[in-house]
């Protein structure tokens, strides 16, 4: 009788596309983890460079590495493919041009298990494309445990929105599908993921290293696809209102207005009155109507939002002090 192979404690999913410059650093940081009971699933999303060969080479060197080769379909399809193949009790995501501290998964798993939380999350280091530190850094999380309601209250915080700075107990991702063809896939799925939890364990340490690229979705050329950000952030706003977090909803609304204004300003003139822009404007109008109906448009919320925009770290310290 063949002995059944034990499932790994953690499945780490890395979607791979056109990142051969950074991929080995990413893979090496994961394979060097002090916590060793994991599988690394590299999903080659039809990358046209040397990434497929780098993935296969990693699998040859370490039996914990599994490789999925698929036709290009975007990061959401790659993550969904990884999720379908994952065998671990916990699920983590790492972007292929980033890297993690060697204690990342040890500390994340320990925090979740010791507190009974279904989700662990940590702060991150922002890097320039060359790996040097960005001028802007933030540390919005303290080491503490948040209830579902308080996590939703803070849903705007970058580490909570990003899938890569979280470790998920497997059942939290049950039924979660990253939206195909959409940008800002993390923000689209965050509300449902947090609603599946009862507690979120936060770690103050900066264990994830996030690389900013001039040509990325967040920082590259503006196109109509940037308007996906409006729809994704409306989901965050709606979730906040559902749980009575009016200050968070108002902050989201103001940020949505700024997003739409900046996107329209940087679109080619012929696209500024397109159907897609009108859809985004309708979404923003709906958001404004809902925050007003819920009584979220208060002077205090406006003042706190202005503070968040002007000095995020001071806002975090003021808003979420113990």
Same domain, 237 and 183: no
- Please give the Cα distance from 227 to 233 (Å, whole number): 10
Give me the domain span that covers residue 141.
10-211
Give me the CATH number covering residue 39.
Answer: 3.90.550.10
Q: Residue 3 domain-assigned?
A: no
Task: Identify the pLDDT of residue 1.
Answer: 45
Same domain, 312 and 184: no
Q: Pick from 54, 48, 80, 50: which is nearest to 67 by CA?
A: 54
Same domain, 92 and 185: yes
Same domain, 284 and 148: no
pLDDT digits (tens, 9 = 90+) for 201-250: 999 999 999 998 765 544 568 999 999 999 999 999 999 999 999 999 99
Which one of 211, 242, 258 terminates a domain? 211
* Number of domains into which the chain is organized: 2
Q: State phi, psi for 69 to the nearest 5 degrees.
A: -105, 130
- Which positions of the chain have pLDDT values less than 50? 1-2, 217-218
Task: Identify the pLDDT of residue 313.
Answer: 86
Same domain, 92 and 136: yes
Task: Identify the pLDDT of residue 317.
Answer: 85
Which one of 159, 179, 211 terminates a domain? 211
Same domain, 176 and 267: no
Q: Residue 264 domain-assigned?
A: yes
User: The whole model's pTM is what?
Assistant: 0.94
Same domain, 191 and 254: no
Task: Identify the pLDDT of residue 136.
Answer: 86
In DSSP terms, which residues pair with 147 in a beta bridge? 199
Task: Identify the pLDDT of residue 318.
Answer: 86
Q: 246-249, long-range: CB within 8 Å, 24+ apart, which pairs?
A: 246/291, 246/294, 246/295, 246/296, 246/298, 246/301, 247/153, 247/296, 247/300, 247/301, 247/304, 248/152, 248/153, 248/154, 248/155, 248/156, 249/290, 249/291, 249/294, 249/296
Q: Residue 115 domain-assigned?
A: yes
pLDDT digits (tens, 9 = 90+) for 257-272: 999 999 999 999 999 9
């Amino acid at each position: 009788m063949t002995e059944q192979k034990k499932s790994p404690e953690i499945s780490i999913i890395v979607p791979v596309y056109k990142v051969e410059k950074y991929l080995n650093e990413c893979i090496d940081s994961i394979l060097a983890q002090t916590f060793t009971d994991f599988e690394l699933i590299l999903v080659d999303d039809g990358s046209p460079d040397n990434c497929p060969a780098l993935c296969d080479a990693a699998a040859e060197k370490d039996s914990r590495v599994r490789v999925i080769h698929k036709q290009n379909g975007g990061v959401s399809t790659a993550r969904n493919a990884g999720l379908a193949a994952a065998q671990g009790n916990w699920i983590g995501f790492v972007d292929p041009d980033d890297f993690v501290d060697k204690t990342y998964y040890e500390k994340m798993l320990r925090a979740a298990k010791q507190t009974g939380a279904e989700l662990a999350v940590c702060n991150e280091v922002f890097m320039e494309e060359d790996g040097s530190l960005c001028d802007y850094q933030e540390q919005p999380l303290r080491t503490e445990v948040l209830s579902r309601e308080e996590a939703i209250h803070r849903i705007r915080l970058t580490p909570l929105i990003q899938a890569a700075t979280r470790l998920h107990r497997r059942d939290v991702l049950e039924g979660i599908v990253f939206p195909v063809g959409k940008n800002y896939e993390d923000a689209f799925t965050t509300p449902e993921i947090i609603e599946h939890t009862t507690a979120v364990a936060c770690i103050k340490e900066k264990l994830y290293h996030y690389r900013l690229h001039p040509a990325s979705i967040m920082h590259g050329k503006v196109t109509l696809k940037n308007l996906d950000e409006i729809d994704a952030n409306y989901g965050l706003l709606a979730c906040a209102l559902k749980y009575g977090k009016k200050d968070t909803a108002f902050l989201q609304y103001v940020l949505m207005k700024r997003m739409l204004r900046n996107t329209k300003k940087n679109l080619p003139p012929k696209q500024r009155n397109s159907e897609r822009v009108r859809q985004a404007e309708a979404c923003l109008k709906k958001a404004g109507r809902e925050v007003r109906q819920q009584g979220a448009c208060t002077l205090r919320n406006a003042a706190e939002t202005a503070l968040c925009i002007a000095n995020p770290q001071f806002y975090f310290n003021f808003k979420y002090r113990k």
